[in-house]
Structure 1
Amino acid sequence: MISRLKKVSFMAWDEITGWASPQKKIILVPLNDVIKNKDNNWEVMGSDPSFVLEGSFRKGWIEFAWESGTQESIPLKFYIDYGHGFSEEHTITPSYMPKGTYKGKVLFFIPYNTKVLRLDTGDKKVIFKLQNVQIKKITRMHMLLERLQEYRSRTEQGSIMGICKKVILLVKKEGIRSFLQRVKSKSNTPQSYDEYTIWQTNNQLTADDLDYIYHDIQAMQYQPLISFVLPVYNVDEIWLRRCIDSVIRQYYTNWELCIADDASTKDHIKRVLDEYSNKYSRIKVVYREKNGHISEASNSALALVTGEYLALLDHDDEIANNALYEIVKLLNHNKQLDIIYSDEDFVNMDHQRVSPFFKPDWSPDRFLCHMYYGHLGVYRSTLIQEAGGFRKGYEGSQDFDLALRITEKTQRIAHIPKILYHWRMIPESTASNSSAKSYTHVAGMKALSDAMRRREINGWIEELSQYPNYYLLHYNVHSNPLVSIIVTENQNPIATDEFLEHLLDQTAYINYEIVVIWNADEVSVSEIDKKWNDRLGNRYTSINAEKFQGAHMYNKAVSLCAGEHYLFINHSIRLNNSAWLQDMIGHSQRKETAVIGAYIQSDNDLIIHSGYVLGLGEHHIAEDPYKGISIDFPGHYGAMFVTRNVSALSKDFFIISKEIFVKLEGFDMNLQEHFFEIDFALKAMQAGYINVWLPYVRVILLNNISNVHDDSSEERAYMKGKWNGFLKQDAYYNENYSKDKPYMLDI
């Protein structure tokens, strides 16, 4: 009890004296991957640069001040050591060093039991200046006033006194201790200065950008009218105004806003809508006499549309000022486009932009798993009219249902890799909580079932119970085709024999033959060959590949096959679902697909293969972005549990139809060791086919032995010469991500 009183007494004295505490100069002592260069600047030498902060400084609320100079934005991430070492669990990222010369300060809380502070500056190899680092003790009152001012500027609220009244009400309700704890937790939340915040700073439109945009709009030969469709129902006034204002602020001005109020019961709705429609002739409003929910309300708004294209907008969301400009700029390059979609992020209750979704280009298989392209979605108006608009009974997934019907009529679809839409995160919205509207999942299931019937897809839908509004579409096998299973990487006859036993035991589909590619001497494999010839008869054959390798070896094996589909499988693969081959064949039988691959994991639960991304890796040919990550990782926006289109797949486990293999003339014989499977996948894409990665066909590769692409300068040069355009930017990997560090924003 005495020690506790001493601690409380010290903390109280600390708070009293903190206001006038002088700044304490801090010395940065390089700990790892950073040195002082000859110009007296810090130079990062590796991927984990860090400093230990030396100097006398107090704990509790502090003001951290610094001077910096850098060509790239750099985070300021603090690791706290309580005496047991540093860990990711105990970190604070209160700010960052922006580009250019800068004097900064930030307030945050250092726990009283902190022993050592470490400062990390990101993972990029950069040269920067960081000097005059100081820490000053402040009081809670100082901190509170700073936070109130910050909140005022961020939320565009009125006077400080008005905000203080709200604070007093909170204090009365929660108590001073709970309120201060709330402020502390908000202050130490790293999202304010995370990677995405830095990206936003780097990608803000400058005065020169705006000047270019205005001149570009004036020079556009094609300036179509864009209609916004906005159903409204009982939304808070602040969000409704922000939504409408975001349309009014558009740089491209040839728009109309078509609003349908769905018999709202809140008085402010009609007052606000009348105010805007009376002020702006381009804002049209219809007031429904009876509430019909979002599909009928959207159709009422559709009836007001006169534009050549229309954009869908939710009543509590916002769009970027340059949204329509980017849409029309793209249309000036290609007037044939029918659907355009952009990237999006979310806006929390404090008006902070968080959780960006940088999307792939059009990915039809992913689209059948969830409505990934979402907002901002722009459609040719005539297609919406021909489709009959929104359907009643699909509320909650009405956009998904509409998009499913429209994408059956056109494939002229384009993606703009820019954040043009901001979802509002409020408690009752699906942006804030995917389970907030469970009926949306049921409606999405119904819409997808309808689409399967219309498209004559012979298959079934698997629901992902833990992930609302996500589904998996399985394709059934038809006509019972013969499949040639080509077993590769067979250096050990005993191991291959074990694999063949496992293959037969774990494969329910029975119409297959087996071709083994031996990489061992003929004497050692003769006994195994005899065993399986006796057992399978003409369903088994083998070839010795000692004289062949790479593409030549695989093509030679295919020449012995009689099947309609060729499935290549590494003998170290272990299967865990007897229906695996049906799932692979079902997709391979689709007329639009070429290479089908699967989820490959290691025997120690790490991801080995989830589809290659072009342009990644040390030599910028291709790499798996998720390789080495735990299988518990769901991927970005569920990428690891949805069927996806990818550019290329691993040669350890994939299937191709004979028809396409022959049409594309097999594997390129110029690639005798590496990249031939990637080359084939790119030939397929070039010919108009799509390649597919299946998350529900999950296999294990023993001993983590995967066919990696080792150093082969000649073949690298050949690939870059042949596929330079494809390798520059993967269609399914957003250009805002780094090519050096997968799925890290390019800042």
Structure 2
Amino acid sequence: MTPPRRRARTRPSEITELSDAEPMSEVEFLHLLLDNRTIERDDLANQLSTRSSQLNELLGSSSWRITKGVRQLSTVLKRDVAPRVAEELRRNPRLLPLLDRLRPGITERLAPTPVPAPPTHADSERLEIVNGPYLEWVERYDTHIDEAAIRSYLTTLKHQPIISIIMPTFNPPIAYLREAIESVRYQIYSNWQLCIVDDASTNPEVREVIAEYVARDRRIVADYRSTTGNISTATNDGIARAIGDYVGFLDHDDMLRPHSLAWVVATINEYPDTAIMYSDEDKLTWDDRRFSPYFKPDFDPLLLLAQNYMTHFFVARRTELRQVGGLRVGLDGSQDWDLALRLTEAVEEYQIRHIPAILYHWRMIEGSTAIRVQLKPEAMGAGRKAVEEAISRRSLSATLEPVSEGAYNLVHFQPSGNPRVAIVIPTRNHADLLSQCLDSLEITDYPNYEVVVINNESDEPETLELLAEVSKRPNNRVLDYPHPFNYAAMHNWAIAQIDADYVCMLNNDTEAINASWLTDMVGLAQQDNIAAVGALLWYPDETIQHCGVILGINGEAGHRYKLSDKTAIGHGGRILLAGRLSAVTGAAMLVSKLAFDEVGGLDEEFTVSLNDIDLCLKFTEAGYHIGYTPAAQLIHHESKSRGMDTEPTKKERYGTEVIRYWQKWAPRILHDPYHNPNASIDDVGCGAAWPPRGRVPWLDYFDGVEFPTPRPSRYFPVNPILLAPGGEIDCKLQIPTGALDSIDRITLWVLETEPYAIEPHYFSIGDSTKVSAVPSWLHLGPITIDVDRIIGRSSSLRLRHDGETPVLIEAVNLFGRSSLRIKVEQRYPTAYAHSALDE
């Protein structure tokens, strides 16, 4: 076989002409940055010295000594007196008017919210409520709601259905009940109905509060059961009163966000066939602090067998809700999980929509599963029963393994029949690794497999001796591939010679550590139209190497939760659970031979890296799914045989493959359906995204892509363009296929050359677009310019700079020529919904 043919390299954002501008060498650029930091360091040292002198002067002054007692008294009042006054007010609210007469406004600061005492269960003490990062994220990105924009947007929507909210009640804390009802009344979208069904509460105040709200708001209706039934019966009574086209569910002590129904209606207008919607959620402490967000994936039927991730905020079309008979009695505590399982069986996947916004606050009170699901073992049992019945209805051969103290289910699918599997292992020398890998396979309990070793020009005597011995083993063979290393090409060549139902691509530096690893992979591969299955891989030090891939992580594709320790469970427990993903690593990937042949195998232009991610994306483009199961576990001694991609000699090769990956798959990379836009793509830990990437229907939103690729300087030398006042750059844009139809704005990265310069610079593209900015002199920072919809895939732009001093524009030396780092973005139209319906 001849080596694979190479195509001509592309040069995205290629600079074609410079006027009063010149590239700066990487060495010169680094010296400039060093000079900047030196100036900043010296300046900060001077400031520190000045402030220290001022502080010493203040501490030695007479006024500071005289006011010492006042400061101490203030501290005591804040620390000791104010909490005691607040506690007394909690017990005796009649003191409030008296205090307000003495000092108007003081009650607003001291009066406590009349809420129940915090949980006292021992388990609640183990909660780790982190006030810092998430609350900072909430403050910055999820507190302000633009009510005027939402109301204006809602007037453009053609379809404005009634949304019925069902709220069963039974002895809720009165303060929480009021907050729950008010959270519906505060909805910006006003076409709703609230159906409250009280399940014979023993506290008479509950009925009084409900009656008060029924009298106050005609959209609220109520039924009062004479005997206590259960939550399913009460909820079904509420569904019977519902008049809305869609029905949502709200617990009697939880809260909706003011824009929750606006999101629901926006989704219905954009996707008129929607039958089921669910949103992201977080939790509330007893004192109304938000914590524990769940940023959920798009619909995943495998994950729904493992956990009830759809529960809050859940909305279903009334037609389908009645079709499945509402909630079933006898599954209290998991009745909503059972409903989600049955409803999702009754509709098509395209009718199930995930709203990537936190629309629901789940209250944490004593004994609530919001604290820990283990606090209600009956709910855990009901959930297991609901899943087992779903497995039975779907005629699946599967068993459930409780994980994370029984909070979730790891589903083990049993293979149907006895399909043939070929385990394909490429190797070059490193007899120790290959021998270790082959020996570990002896524990495999799957009965029908063969081992195919691809020998890529091994020349060490130990390896040749081992290969000769392996070729004599039963169900083992060695194929010699006498060509330069190309992971994709050698696998295509070998797999073409294999007669098997499934092929397991396995690195020679892996070790199987549980006997059922292949059995579980084959069993999952037979479900859900899955074409490829990935495993849970560990480093030898028992930290995670792979538990699935997230598109766009660090600008490429990254292994989620990489380097997490063995106690980690991941966001929503997803390290421990089988489910769908966009991609998995080829280090241990089982693929359907039929699907592999259908998509043309591996792309041989990805010689070393990203060929596995590309294959997964080709599978999903063809209509297949990608699965992951932690029931298959191996140790991975990553890249010992070929080295790491971060080695200097391999950076440019890898960078070239990253560029091609973005050009081929940019739209998919930007929107990984199994990684929430509120979750980070800047780290593998899946924390909150700063900022979120999600589209908000009533706000201007831009969808964009960087090229040559995000963070190109990781692979190519940085040669920024020194652009003098009046200087111009001509640049040819080669936009990745399918990424954008037109461009609304362009971002470049700019650095001021003069320390502490404060005069604005003007940057313009073409004749009619201009932006004023004061770039940082310490680092390259983004400058965004609005443009008049540049159309086409290969448009040229002319960037002009006017200012007092030269600036640097970030560029990289790409294949021997300068290319700008540039981000192009397209605006989502704000009135997309009704225009789509008008068609």
Normalising by the residue count of structure 2, what TM-score does the alignment of the two structures yield?
0.67
Find the partner of 2:192 among 251, 255, 258: 255
Distance 2:209 2:294 in 1: 31
How has the CA–CA distance of structure 1 residues 319 and 40 changed in structure 2, closer, same or farther, with 3 Å as cutoff?
farther
Question: Where do residues 320-339 of structure 1 align in structure 2 (5 Å cutoff)?
Answer: 320-339=257-276
Paired letter, 1:454: R
The structural deviation recorded for 1:141 is 2.2
Question: Where do residues 29-68 of structure 1 align in structure 2 (5 Å cutoff)?
Answer: 37=40
Query: Counterpart in 2 of 1:76?
Result: none
For the pair 1:392 / 2:329, whether they are aligned, the reply is: yes
Query: Counterpart in 2 of 1:633?
Result: 568
Q: Secondary structure at the match of 2:390?
A: helix
Paired letter, 2:381: V
Distance 1:566 1:522 in 2: 27
Distance 2:330 2:241 in 1: 22
Q: Secondary structure at the match of 2:473?
A: helix
How has the CA–CA distance of structure 1 residues 368 and 56 changed in structure 2, closer, same or farther, with 3 Å as cutoff?
farther
**Contact map agreement 1:496 1:571 (CA 8 A) in 2:** yes
Find the partner of 1:480 among 415, 418, 424: 418
Paired letter, 2:250: L
Distance 1:432 1:159 in 2: 34
Unpaired stretches in structure 1, ≥5 consecutive residues:
1-32, 43-50, 59-134, 170-181, 183-188
Distance 2:361 2:57 in 1: 41
**Contact map agreement 1:522 1:544 (CA 8 A) in 2:** no
How has the CA–CA distance of structure 1 residues 580 and 392 changed in structure 2, closer, same or farther, with 3 Å as cutoff?
same
Find the partner of 2:670 among 728, 731, 735: 728
For the pair 1:527 / 2:469, whether they are aligned, the reply is: no
Q: Secondary structure at the match of 1:623?
A: strand
Query: Counterpart in 2 of 1:514?
Result: 451
For the pair 1:290 / 2:227, whether they are aligned, the reply is: yes
For the pair 1:468 / 2:406, whether they are aligned, the reply is: yes
Query: Counterpart in 1 of 2:135?
Result: 197
The structural deviation recorded for 1:738 is 2.8
Query: Counterpart in 2 of 1:646?
Result: 581
Distance 1:301 1:57 in 2: 71
Q: Secondary structure at the match of 2:359?
A: strand
For the pair 1:741 / 2:677, whether they are aligned, the reply is: no
Query: Counterpart in 2 of 1:143?
Result: 79
Deviations 1:472-518 (A, max 9, x none): 11111122111000012442234323432331x21112211111012
Paired letter, 1:143: R
How has the CA–CA distance of structure 1 residues 588 and 153 changed in structure 2, closer, same or farther, with 3 Å as cutoff?
farther
Find the partner of 1:606 among 543, 549, 552: 543
Give the superposed CA RMSD. 3.5
Unpaired stretches in structure 2, ≥5 consecutive residues:
1-35, 46-50, 59-70, 101-105, 113-119, 121-126, 691-839
**Contact map agreement 2:86 2:111 (CA 8 A) in 1:** no
Distance 2:54 2:505 in 1: 58
Q: Secondary structure at the match of 2:445?
A: coil
The percent identity for this pair of structures is: 31
Deviations 1:323-347 (A, max 9, x none): 0001101111111111111111111
For the pair 1:431 / 2:366, whether they are aligned, the reply is: no
Query: Counterpart in 1 of 2:13?
Result: none
**Contact map agreement 2:163 2:244 (CA 8 A) in 1:** yes
**Contact map agreement 1:652 1:706 (CA 8 A) in 2:** no
**Contact map agreement 2:429 2:459 (CA 8 A) in 1:** no
The structural deviation recorded for 1:34 is 9.2
Give the total of aligned pairs: 606
For the pair 1:457 / 2:399, whether they are aligned, the reply is: no
The structural deviation recorded for 1:717 is 1.4
Query: Counterpart in 1 of 2:318?
Result: 381
Distance 2:286 2:189 in 1: 28
How has the CA–CA distance of structure 1 residues 197 and 607 changed in structure 2, closer, same or farther, with 3 Å as cutoff?
same
For the pair 1:234 / 2:176, whether they are aligned, the reply is: no
Q: Secondary structure at the match of 2:379?
A: helix
Distance 1:656 1:626 in 2: 23
Deviations 1:94-133 (A, max 9, x none): xxxxxxxxxxxxxxxxxxxxxxxxxxxxxxxxxxxxxxxx
**Contact map agreement 1:57 1:136 (CA 8 A) in 2:** no
Query: Counterpart in 1 of 2:695?
Result: none
The structural deviation recorded for 1:192 is 7.3
How has the CA–CA distance of structure 1 residues 406 and 139 changed in structure 2, closer, same or farther, with 3 Å as cutoff?
same
How has the CA–CA distance of structure 1 residues 374 and 693 changed in structure 2, closer, same or farther, with 3 Å as cutoff?
same
Moved more, 509-518 or 233-242: 509-518
Distance 1:52 1:564 in 2: 74
**Contact map agreement 2:505 2:588 (CA 8 A) in 1:** yes
Query: Counterpart in 1 of 2:286?
Result: 349
For the pair 1:444 / 2:387, whether they are aligned, the reply is: no
Identify which of structures 1 and 2 has the higher relative contact order when contacts are C-alpha pairs closer than 8 Å and 6+ apart: 2
Q: Secondary structure at the match of 2:553?
A: coil
Deviations 1:122-161 (A, max 9, x none): xxxxxxxxxxxxx98953223345667999999xx99766
How has the CA–CA distance of structure 1 residues 640 and 265 changed in structure 2, closer, same or farther, with 3 Å as cutoff?
same
The structural deviation recorded for 1:670 is 2.0
**Contact map agreement 2:373 2:380 (CA 8 A) in 1:** no
Q: Secondary structure at the match of 1:335?
A: coil
Distance 1:431 1:336 in 2: 32
Q: Secondary structure at the match of 2:472?
A: helix
The structural deviation recorded for 1:530 is 3.2
How has the CA–CA distance of structure 1 residues 309 and 53 changed in structure 2, closer, same or farther, with 3 Å as cutoff?
farther
The structural deviation recorded for 1:190 is 10
**Contact map agreement 1:152 1:158 (CA 8 A) in 2:** no
Distance 1:446 1:52 in 2: 67
Paired letter, 1:739: I
**Contact map agreement 1:552 1:669 (CA 8 A) in 2:** yes
Query: Counterpart in 2 of 1:416?
Result: 355
How has the CA–CA distance of structure 1 residues 457 and 36 changed in structure 2, closer, same or farther, with 3 Å as cutoff?
farther
**Contact map agreement 1:610 1:640 (CA 8 A) in 2:** yes
Distance 1:282 1:250 in 2: 12
For the pair 1:695 / 2:630, whether they are aligned, the reply is: yes
**Contact map agreement 2:248 2:315 (CA 8 A) in 1:** yes
How has the CA–CA distance of structure 1 residues 600 and 273 changed in structure 2, closer, same or farther, with 3 Å as cutoff?
same
For the pair 1:719 / 2:641, whether they are aligned, the reply is: no
Query: Counterpart in 1 of 2:243?
Result: 306
How has the CA–CA distance of structure 1 residues 52 and 200 changed in structure 2, closer, same or farther, with 3 Å as cutoff?
farther
Paired letter, 2:375: A
Distance 1:331 1:626 in 2: 34
Distance 1:253 1:639 in 2: 37
Q: Secondary structure at the match of 2:519?
A: helix
Q: Secondary structure at the match of 1:630?
A: coil
Query: Counterpart in 1 of 2:205?
Result: 268
**Contact map agreement 1:199 1:745 (CA 8 A) in 2:** yes
Normalising by the residue count of structure 1, what TM-score does the alignment of the two structures yield?
0.75
Moved more, 257-266 or 319-328: 257-266
